[in-house]
């Protein structure tokens, strides 16, 4: 009987994601279809492995003043304590207060995609967020501090060689404010934290 190997399990998961993204690239010629399928690979992965109190979905984010973000490929939000505002025909709108991370998912990373992802992340981080005191039987808990929203990038490949080198770093430092990309995965090459 073969021994269990955590590293082999995780390596197999990585190979599966990489293969699924490769199939999307080879199988779909229409850019919109290819984009939707790529997003679905990442959303499926996150929905499988995130704790059930969180949800991953393509969504718009709205604040309490009625301002909306751009459409975000992958939003990770609190599904347990802050339900979505509206969902219809696979279009989801979530409150800004429930968002933990926003991720742009595309096939290939390059400088223009990083700038585009930074713009999308900024459209969420600039929204107004609130936190209110929480009443309970013996009084009131103070309002919780707002959590930072992580911004990220998910791709299959990279135009750069090396994929995770100085060219990526140069693109990432172009916006270290509201559009900052904190995390990312280039499935064929690895991941980054910034």
Tell me which of 39, 58, 73, 97 is the catalytic residue.
73
Bridge partners of 157, per DSSP, are: 108
Q: Active-site residue 39, yes or no?
A: no
Tell me which of 58, 78, 97, 106 is the catalytic residue.
106
Q: Active-site residue 110, yes or no?
A: no
Q: Active-site residue 58, yes or no?
A: no
Written as six digits, the tokens of 64 are 């309490």
What whole-number distance in Å separates Cα of residue 10 and Cα of residue 12? 5
What whole-number distance in Å separates Cα of residue 114 and Cα of residue 110? 6
Tell me which of 78, 97, 104, 157 is the catalytic residue.
104
Helices (H), the chain: 6-27, 31-49, 111-125, 166-172
> In a 3-state reduction of DSSP, which class is residue 85?
coil
Active site residues per annotation: 73, 104, 106
């Amino acid at each position: 009987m073969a021994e269990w190997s955590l590293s082999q399990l995780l390596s197999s998961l990585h190979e599966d994601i990489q293969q699924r993204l490769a199939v999307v690239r080879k199988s779909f010629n229409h850019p919109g279809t290819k984009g939707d399928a790529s997003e679905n690979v990442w959303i499926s992965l996150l929905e499988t492995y995130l704790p059930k109190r969180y949800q991953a979905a393509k969504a718009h984010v709205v604040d309490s003043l009625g301002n909306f973000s751009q459409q975000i490929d992958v939003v990770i939000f609190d599904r347990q304590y802050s339900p979505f505002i509206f969902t219809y025909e696979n279009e989801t709108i979530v409150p800004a207060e429930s968002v933990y991370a926003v991720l742009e998912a595309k096939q290939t990373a390059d400088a223009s995609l990083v700038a585009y992802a930074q713009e999308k992340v900024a459209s969420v981080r600039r929204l107004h967020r609130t936190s209110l005191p929480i009443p309970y039987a013996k009084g009131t808990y103070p309002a919780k501090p707002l959590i930072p929203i992580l911004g990220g990038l998910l791709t299959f490949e990279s135009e750069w060689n090396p994929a995770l080198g100085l060219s990526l770093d140069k693109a990432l430092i172009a916006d270290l404010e509201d559009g900052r990309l904190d995390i990312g995965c280039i499935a064929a090459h690895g991941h980054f934290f910034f």
